[in-house]
């Protein structure tokens, strides 16, 4: 490396470090000096999370990829995204606390002023384009839904385990999912207010982030009562990272359809296209000649255990969660012996379609390495298979996962 490059690299690294301190100062409301003191006595790294890998994730200082704290003991950081460590769900109850909810940002979290924010409904699929303010939306009849939002790429790293080939994209393990109580207004009410045309076929919510994430969706989805324009999450105004002031909720559909920071909804009498239904969120690969666009989520299960973690030998009650985009969960079976025998897990009472159910099962753990398997079946009879074909961008991994655990 020549001197000039070295200087650039040094400047770049300094900038990254500076940005990191700046972000932490904002997150914890501490001065840099106080933060440095925390780190110097060695408690800081544990309390705040260790220095994240900034590769790819860092933007200019005024653009913060994620605003809320995402400490490393609760999240895996992947560039502009933060994945909840699945073991952190243990003991949190049915709803995922807002602070613990994963963040998936294609670019970064914008800061939007709700008092100047507008939602525009336009296109040839409506008779009268309208514009709503935040207060106008909040004064409309509301509806509350408890539902999951899950990234289409959740479990992507498992494609490599099965097929020895890495799928491209954020290397999620199991924690690109959360369940919340979402309050908002049925999108259909807003569409009707704009004079929805009978011949409208598609609608496309536009995000106000720098990438303007926008995903065309069928009008039938827009007319379902539980498709919401959401302004509250678990009883609080949406956090900036989760779409403040308003996001879409599309129960059962892949995460990207739940457009955050929505500023415009285009309604059309002809099919709509964007990169998010032509280039990404499409299954590409030899087993998918028809190149289907991903729509709804499949059935899955995960243990609330650290990945590749350790347990003491003896009696344990293992816990986990199972979910489906197509219904509620009918059963979860667990195997401790590599799939030779399966035992039914206990399901908790709360089992909401397109959300999840908590399960538990006793296990007498013997010393050694284990691969724990949980296999969920939903109310439509969909069961997790042992294997699924590869797709290049690693969407919808729904096969049974072999969770590595060492018992000591």
Chain residue at closest Cβ approach to Mo ion: 151
Structure tokens, 142? 């509301």
258 binds ligand MTE (CB under 6 A): yes
Q: What is the largest CA-CA distance in the chain?
A: 68
256 binds ligand MTE (CB under 6 A): yes
100 binds ligand MTE (CB under 6 A): no
What x-and-dash track marks residues 259-288 binding ligand MTE by CB under 6 A? xxx---------------------------
Dist CA 52 CA 42 (whole Å): 16
Contact partners, residue 378, CB within 8 Å, separation at least 6? 299, 324, 326, 327, 328, 329, 330
Q: Of 75, 94, 102, 336, which lies in the binding site for ligand MTE, with binding defined by CB under 6 A? A: 102
Select the span of 76-84, 193-201, 252-260, 262-270 touching Mo ion (CB under 5 A): 252-260
Contact partners, residue 80, CB within 8 Å, separation at least 6? 56, 57, 59, 65, 66, 105, 106, 107, 108
Residue 254 or 365 having the CB closest to Mo ion: 254
Select the span of 48-56, 161-169, 190-198, 206-214 touching ligand MTE (CB under 6 A): 206-214
CB 256 within 8 A of CB 276: yes
Residue 126 or 213 having the CB closest to ligand MTE: 213
Q: Work out what residue 149 binds among Mo ion, ligand MTE, none; the CB cut-off runs from 5 to 8 Å by kind.
A: ligand MTE
Residue 256 or 334 having the CB closest to Mo ion: 256
Q: Work out what residue 207 binds among ligand MTE, Mo ion, none; the CB cut-off runs from 5 to 8 Å by kind.
A: ligand MTE
394 binds Mo ion (CB under 5 A): no
Select the span of 1-9, 102-110, 326-334, 347-355 touching ligand MTE (CB under 6 A): 102-110
Span 2-21, contacts to ligand MTE by CB under 6 A: none
> Computed from CA positions of residues 299, 251, 177, 62, in that sequence, does the dihedral angle turn out positive or negative?
positive
The alpha carbon of 359 is separated from its chain's Cα centroid by a whole number of angstroms, namely: 21
Q: Of 68, 78, 85, 104, which lies in the binding site for Mo ion, with binding defined by CB under 5 A? A: 104
Dist CA 171 CA 380 (whole Å): 29
Dist CA 23 CA 59 (whole Å): 12
Strand order in the sheet with 403-407: 309-311, 403-407, 368-378, 329-335, 343-344
Span 149-208, contacts to Mo ion by CB under 5 A: 151
Contact partners, residue 367, CB within 8 Å, separation at least 6? 313, 407, 408
Q: Of 255, 320, 353, 394, which lies in the binding site for ligand MTE, with binding defined by CB under 6 A? A: 255
264 binds Mo ion (CB under 5 A): no
Span 224-253, contacts to ligand MTE by CB under 6 A: 242
149 binds ligand MTE (CB under 6 A): yes
Select the span of 39-47, 88-96, 256-264, 304-312 touching ligand MTE (CB under 6 A): 256-264
Dist CA 255 CA 172 (whole Å): 13
Cα-based distances in Å from 261 to 7, 107, 113, 273: 39, 12, 11, 20
CB 171 within 8 A of CB 206: no
For 268, phi and psi rounded to 5 degrees?
-140, 145
Select the span of 1-9, 95-103, 129-137, 328-336 touching ligand MTE (CB under 6 A): 95-103
Orientation angle between helical segments 3-28 and 32-40, nearest 10 degrees? 100
Residue 194 or 259 having the CB closest to ligand MTE: 259
Select the span of 2-10, 258-266, 311-319, 391-399 touching ligand MTE (CB under 6 A): 258-266
Q: How many residues bind ligand MTE (CB under 6 A)?
A: 18
Contact positions vs Mo ion (CB under 5 A): 104, 151, 255-256
Contact positions vs ligand MTE (CB under 6 A): 101-106, 149, 151, 207, 209, 213, 242, 255-256, 258-261
């Amino acid at each position: 490396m020549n001197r000039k490059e070295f200087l650039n690299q040094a400047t770049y690294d300094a900038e990254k470090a500076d940005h990191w301190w700046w972000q932490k100062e904002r997150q914890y409301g501490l001065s840099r000096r106080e933060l440095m003191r925390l780190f110097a006595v060695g408690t800081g790294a544990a309390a705040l999370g260790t220095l994240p890998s900034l590769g790819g994730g860092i933007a200019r200082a005024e653009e913060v990829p994620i605003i809320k704290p995402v400490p490393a003991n609760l999240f895996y950081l992947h560039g502009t995204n933060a994945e909840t460590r699945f073991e952190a769900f243990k003991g949190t109850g049915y709803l995922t606390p807002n602070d613990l909810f994963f963040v998936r940002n294609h670019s970064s979290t914008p800061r939007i002023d709700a008092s100047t924010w507008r939602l525009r409904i336009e296109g040839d699929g409506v008779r009268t384009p309208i514009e709503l303010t935040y207060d106008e939306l909040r004064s409309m009849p509301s509806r509350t839904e408890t539902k999951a939002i899950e990234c289409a790429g959740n479990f992507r790293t498992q494609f490599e385990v099965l097929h020895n080939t890495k799928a491209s994209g954020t290397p999620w393990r199991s924690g690109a999912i959360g369940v919340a109580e979402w309050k908002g207004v049925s999108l259909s009410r807003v569409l009707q207010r704009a004079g929805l045309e009978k011949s409208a076929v598609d609608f496309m919510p536009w995000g106000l982030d720098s990438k303007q994430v926008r995903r065309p969706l069928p009008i039938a989805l827009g007319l379902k009562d539980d498709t919401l324009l959401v302004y509250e999450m678990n009883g609080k105004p949406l956090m900036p990272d989760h779409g403040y002031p308003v996001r879409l909720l599309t129960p059962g559909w892949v995460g990207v359809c739940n457009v955050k920071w929505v500023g415009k909804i285009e309604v059309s009498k002809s099919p709509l296209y964007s990169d998010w239904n032509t280039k990404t969120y499409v299954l590409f690969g030899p087993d998918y000649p028809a190149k289907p666009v991903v729509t709804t989520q499949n059935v899955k299960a995960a243990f609330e255990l650290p990945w590749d973690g350790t347990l003491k030998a003896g009696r344990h009650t293992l816990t986990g969660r199972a979910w489906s985009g197509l219904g509620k969960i009918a059963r979860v079976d667990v195997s401790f012996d590599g799939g030779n025998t399966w035992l039914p897990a206990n399901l908790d009472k709360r089992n909401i379609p397109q959300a999840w159910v908590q399960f538990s099962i006793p296990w007498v753990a013997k010393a050694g390495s284990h691969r724990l398997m949980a296999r969920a079946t939903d109310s439509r009879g969909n069961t997790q298979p042992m294997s699924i074909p590869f797709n290049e961008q690693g969407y919808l991994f729904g096969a049974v996962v072999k969770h590595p655990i060492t018992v000591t």
